[in-house]
Amino acid sequence: MYYVYILETGSEKKFYVGYTNDLKRRLLEHNLGNNVSTKYGVPWKLAYYEAYATQAVARQRERNLKQRGNAYHSLIKRISSS
């Protein structure tokens, strides 16, 4: 399985979108500061994820969220209200 995930940092209410085939490992990598994009938001928590059968579909969904503001903002609004 491949996962598209959204991480949230509590202090500044920032979000990060990514994809992986191992959510636990990837969250640990983010919180250890191994990712340039997220090393300043530590600690990150998993706010949301979606599971996909193939890497291609997960990668396309991640790209969609990163490139299309409406899709991203709608999802963030839904996450924040729950």
- Written as one letter, the residue type at 57 is V
Q: What is the DSSP string of 26-61?
A: HHHHHHTT-STTTTTSPSEEEEEEEEESSHHHHHHH
From residue 39, alpha-carbon distances to 11, 16, 28, 33, 35 in Å are 14, 11, 11, 4, 6
Output the domain CATH number for residue 43: 3.40.1440
- Extract the residue ranges of the chain whose pLDDT is less than 50: none
Domain count, the chain: 1
Predicted pLDDT at 82: 60
Q: Are the beta carbons of 7 and 44 closer than 8 angstroms? A: yes
pTM: 0.91
Predicted pLDDT at 79: 86
By residue range, what is the domain housing residue 7? Answer: 2-80
